[in-house]
């Protein structure tokens, strides 16, 4: 989007479970968002866009909103910017502009937008035209642009319960570090509805602008195969992978060696806790497997091995009966809470940086290749006083190693100082 005039910092909407991942990804690419709003539960795209529009107009202004989903790839950035710029005048005049992908072949996975008039010739004129109708009721928007106030007025006319619930959720929001938490009870009353269904299929203000910028949805593993560069045999290889007589496969390794031998049309993804092997045509059926894991209470359905926290992250390395090993990274200037555990002891081995460790009121500096012991019941805290991340290996031992065995006494990030588990 660089080069679009008067572009402000992005406003992000995500589920509260993804907040630290989103914040870390923004930090890695050097973008500071204007805000990160946290949805307590998923309610589809109409409420998400409504909350964004309400937040954008909170200061009495009526800015243009460009609404984009996170799981898209756009190959021709220059053409995308030109198309967005072409839609600004119509959006500024009060139209609700949607960007429609020009199909190169019949596509049954998406709906179609029928223009009310023929599209201009040549470069299609980069001119928004009225929408005649939506065909097959698309449930996913590519992108939209509109005045925040005009969109809210139209949404309030067509789906007033969405605006009412979102206003209430935003009015009772709570700050949490760099995040804003929407109030759960109010947001839960919001209908689960897509923006296309709630507004774009019903409004008389809709306009469509053809988008020919190499857009692709990357919401599945098969889509990643389609959008990536292929080797001469049609394979996409990522990580430590060997391909021998394999055809049209997506092979990805994050840790262990993956070998594809004499196979075709497969998706193979290796991570530290799961290995997926699927036919490319069935890759989207992974939702059913996730549902089965959730019903079984499997740990893989609840969290990734890497867990982000406001102070950094930890990786679950390995575990056994009465013990487990974690790799922990603490950001410069960050600190874990002053805490205590009822059921486990911990050994910390610093492998990078210098940690300031507090144990029952005393402090010590622990440098690289040094270690310290946290006995069961010891009140302790780790702080990174340096300019580089601190990395350490934590070895836990005890009869119970759950994350809920924690009593917090002090916390820089306002997290609960109580525990659900006691001796």
| pLDDT above 90: residue 105 | no
Q: 196-210, 231-245, 270-284, 323-337 — which is least confidently predicted?
A: 196-210
Residue 418, pLDDT score: 52
Q: Which of these three, 237, 255, 286, is where a domain ends?
A: 286
| pLDDT above 80: residue 107 | no
Rounded to the nearest integer, the mean pLDDT of the chain is 88
Task: Give pLDDT tens digits for 147-191.
Answer: 889 999 999 999 999 999 999 999 999 998 889 999 999 999 999
Give a yes or no: residue 301 inside a domain: no
- Same-domain check for residues 355 and 401: yes
Determine the straight-line distance between the first and last CA of the chain, rounded to whole angstroms: 54
Alpha-carbon torsion (223, 229, 234, 240), positive or negative: negative
- Same-domain check for residues 196 and 51: yes
Residue 262, pLDDT score: 98
- Same-domain check for residues 325 and 196: no
Give a yes or no: residue 117 inside a domain: yes
Q: Which of these three, 186, 217, 248, is where a domain ends?
A: 217
Residue % of the chain over a pLDDT of 70? 88
Give a yes or no: residue 370 inside a domain: yes
C-alpha to C-alpha distance for 184 and 196, rounded to whole angstroms: 24
Please give the residue range of the domain that contains residue 242: 221-286
- Same-domain check for residues 59 and 161: yes
- Same-domain check for residues 321 and 232: no
- Same-domain check for residues 346 and 209: no
Give a yes or no: residue 295 inside a domain: no
- Same-domain check for residues 312 and 256: no
- Same-domain check for residues 24 and 114: yes
Q: Are 265 and 225 in contact (CB under 8 A)?
A: no
Global pTM reads 0.77
- Segment 243-266 mean pLDDT: 97
- Count up the domains in the chain and report the number: 3
- Same-domain check for residues 200 and 313: no
Residue 420, pLDDT score: 45
Give a yes or no: residue 77 inside a domain: yes
Strands 179-181 and 174-176: antiparallel
Give a yes or no: residue 47 inside a domain: yes
- Domain with residue 62: its CATH number is 3.90.550.10
Q: Which helix (H) or strand (E) holds 53?
A: helix 45-56
Taking alpha carbons only, the member of 411, 393, 387, 386 closest to residue 336 is 411
């Amino acid at each position: 989007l660089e080069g679009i005039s008067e572009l402000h910092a992005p406003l992000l909407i995500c589920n509260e479970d993804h907040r630290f991942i989103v914040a870390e990804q923004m930090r890695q690419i050097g973008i500071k968002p204007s805000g990160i709003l946290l949805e307590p539960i998923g309610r589809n795209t109409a409420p998400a866009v409504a909350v964004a529009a309400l937040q954008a107009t909170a200061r009495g202004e009526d800015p243009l909103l460009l609404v984009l989903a996170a799981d898209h790839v756009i190959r021709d950035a220059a053409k995308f910017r030109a198309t967005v710029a072409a839609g600004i005048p119509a959006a500024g005049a009060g139209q609700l502009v949607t960007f429609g992908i020009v199909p190169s072949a019949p596509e049954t996975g998406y709906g179609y937008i029928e223009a009310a008039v023929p599209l201009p010739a040549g470069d299609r004129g980069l001119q928004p035209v009225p929408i005649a109708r939506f065909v097959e009721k698309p449930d996913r928007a590519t992108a939209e642009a509109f005045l925040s106030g005009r969109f809210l007025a139209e949404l309030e006319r067509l789906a007033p319960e969405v605006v009412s619930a979102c206003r209430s959720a935003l009015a009772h929001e709570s700050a949490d570090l760099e995040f804003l938490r929407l109030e759960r009870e109010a947001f839960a009353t919001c209908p689960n509805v897509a923006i296309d269904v709630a507004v774009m299929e019903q409004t008389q203000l809709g306009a469509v602008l053809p988008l020919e910028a190499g857009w692709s949805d990357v919401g599945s593993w098969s889509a990643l195969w389609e959008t990536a560069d292929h080797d001469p045999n049609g394979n996409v290889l990522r990580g430590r992978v060997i391909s021998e007589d394999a055809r049209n496969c997506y092979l990805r390794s994050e840790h262990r060696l993956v070998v594809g031998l004499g196979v075709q049309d497969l998706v193979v993804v290796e991570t530290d806790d799961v290995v997926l092997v699927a036919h490319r045509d069935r890759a989207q059926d992974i939702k059913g497997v996730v549902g089965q894991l959730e019903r079984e209470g499997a740990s893989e359905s609840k969290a990734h091995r890497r867990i982000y926290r406001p102070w950094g992250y930890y990786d679950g390395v390995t575990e056994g009966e009465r013990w487990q090993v974690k790799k922990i990274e603490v950001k410069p200037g960050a600190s874990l809470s002053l805490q205590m555990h009822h059921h486990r002891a911990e050994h910390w081995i610093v492998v990078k940086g210098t940690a300031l460790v507090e144990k029952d009121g005393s402090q010590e500096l622990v440098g690289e290749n040094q270690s310290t012991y946290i006995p069961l019941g010891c009140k302790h805290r780790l702080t990174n006083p340096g300019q580089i991340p601190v990395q350490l290996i934590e070895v836990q031992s005890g009869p119970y190693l759950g994350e809920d065995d924690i009593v917090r006494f002090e916390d820089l990030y306002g997290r609960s100082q109580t525990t659900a588990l006691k001796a």
